[in-house]
Structure 1
Amino acid sequence: MADWRAKLINEPAPLGSYPASDVTFLLKDISEVKLEKSVDARERAIQSGTHYSEMLPVEKQPTDDYLALYQDTLQQSARKVASAVGTTAELIRHKKGRNTVLVSLARAGTPVGILIKRYLQDIHLMDLPHYSISIIRGKGIDENALFYILQKHPGAKLQFVDGWTGKGAIRKVLTDACRKLEQAYEIKLDDDLAVLADPGHCTDLFGTREDFLIPSACLNSTVSGLMSRTVLRDDLIGPSDFHGSKYYKEWLDQDLSNHFIAAITPFFGEVQEEAMQRADDMLAHPPEVSWKGLQDIQAIQRDYQMADINLIKPGVGETTRVLLRRVPWRILVDRLDNPNIRHIRLLAEARDVPVEVYHGLSYSCCGLIKSVKGDAE
């Protein structure tokens, strides 16, 4: 059995626009490599078998209208986000204790991990180390990043953090990765995933199960420390490297990453009591992990005769992303008057995408991606 303790791993380079005290990105800087493809070209490549982690979408700066939507959403939901952060942080505190390392799953998990770290620091004077690492559907977690954390923090408990759950695909990748680490290296890690929102019902460590728009889902790199999605390609990533990511320094003057954090943290004191109460209730009566979301997605797949379940993106955050950076086919909503989908309807109208009610949905909405092969026509 390979000894991971002796493995030499490259030290991380300083990356991203967050202060070093908030997060360390365990990612290889591949900013100089041209990896971006247009939405249509990327969609064709993905649906023809190219793995999504081998290229990047072209990241455009959000329009004025969309920035206004972000600001409006942030203003309306900052306290709600803070309450969900507080509940999640309180659960982590009770379950894991002070000897815990926060491990955010890049990139949607990064701002959430920072908020959880800040809450525990502000409210409980707990200064937990926080790293952001890559996990990729179909390829697994960055083992070098995990070895690095375990070498730096022997005996610590790791708490994986993400933004929200959809159909639970990343949770399953995480569970598989933890099982493989135990088999290959006798490393035993908890595969529990802490998220702000769990509309998919696939974890018991969450702030809420309401499917609302977490404002950071509106934007791409400009709310994630100016980091791209993560990349894993044999010609770019060597055996001692972390998974790769680009740092878009050229957008520093448009960066809202720290603005997002600064909008949420002032509410921590106000929400502390309700967060502690909610966490206590959840610890006394653990919520059921029913995977209802995945069952809904499988029903949609049958009803709409879609060959590829990965073309169904559940939840407000993922549907927002479908409308922003994929080729949407149609949008399904639980009800038309759901206040959580106002921006979804505006975006769908702007792109001329039909919106349909799908009764009994555990999410506020789902985005269905257009198949370039014709299986969704």
Structure 2
Amino acid sequence: MAKGPTVYHVAERAGVSIATVSFTFRQPEKVKASTRELVLAAAKELGYVPSASARGLARGRTGALGLFAYDFLLDPADSIRGRDPQGHDPAQADSERQNEDLRLFPLYVDEVQRGVELECWRRGQALLVGGGNPENNEAVLSDIAGRVDGLAVFPRSVPSEALARIAGRIPVVEVSESALHPELDHVTVDNASGTRAITEHLVTEHGMKRLMFLGGMPSSDNDERLAAFLAALRDAGLTPAREPDYPCGGEQAVAEVIAAVCRENAVPDAIVCATDQDALVVLDALAAAGVKVPMDVAVTGFDGIAAGRVVRPSLTTVRQPMEQMGRAMVELLLDRLDHPDKPPASLRLPVRVVLRESCGCRPD
């Protein structure tokens, strides 16, 4: 295979030094616009592509960050795209499907990822995004980690042992779950104040006394939310209407809990859900049982995903600054690269209660 053009060829073609070529690609703001145009034109003519590995040798960095995302929230069938046997346009089918079920996108993970992407773009950092499955996630993680300066990860997306191994080589920042890996940098939110505020709103503004907490997945974030819910009830002189529940089995298990509550005629005044996705399942299950929201029972969530605005009744929730969380992950990674010996940082961002129809309020 013939060797491709190098930085030396570009410098010669543009009539500049190799340092100027390097700066054009690494720190373009340090090169005059006219000179930068000459270099880029020469590179285009020659078919030159700057080597990340070469940049790494020169300055000890690749100029790229990595993001390892969830895979388990996806339906395996969703990953298969193409024209179906009847010849239908997949783009049209995808659009119709989005209209039928706006819960598919964007979710929490999508909004956080967008924040990572936007901040990398703003700072001139390349971003490598990947995700695996139970059979290959460690291999994919290692491959990404070998190509980047730092890695952002979602909680519980990879085994702790693999994460520790990667963190020994490059900076790693985790979103949420600060109790899971306290040795890492973290970006999380004020779970406690948000849940307390929404619980107090139900008790104080709506006069509700029988409240239950329901979450589809145990996590340190959800544990914080549960603790705040119980503390708010205790301060109001109340006890939960039902034992807090983290049913195993995902959405189906959450729906089964609600079905059981309805069969037992034990519907409380309000159901405080750990996440918006849990709350949307609860709304469906209540509707299937003929229980009206908010007339018979109030329902609240936590996250602030887009689906909560369009579902009917619209969902009262605690809005996380998800885009800002993604941006903050990039900031922490770059700061860690510049200050590798600093103690682990845990950035806790504020949240906001959003009052809508599902608790009996008008949308804000």
TM-score range, shorter chain: 0.3 to 0.5
TM-score when normalising by structure 2: 0.35
**Higher radius of gyration, 1 or 2:** 2
Structure with larger RCO (C-alpha < 8 A, sep 6+): 1
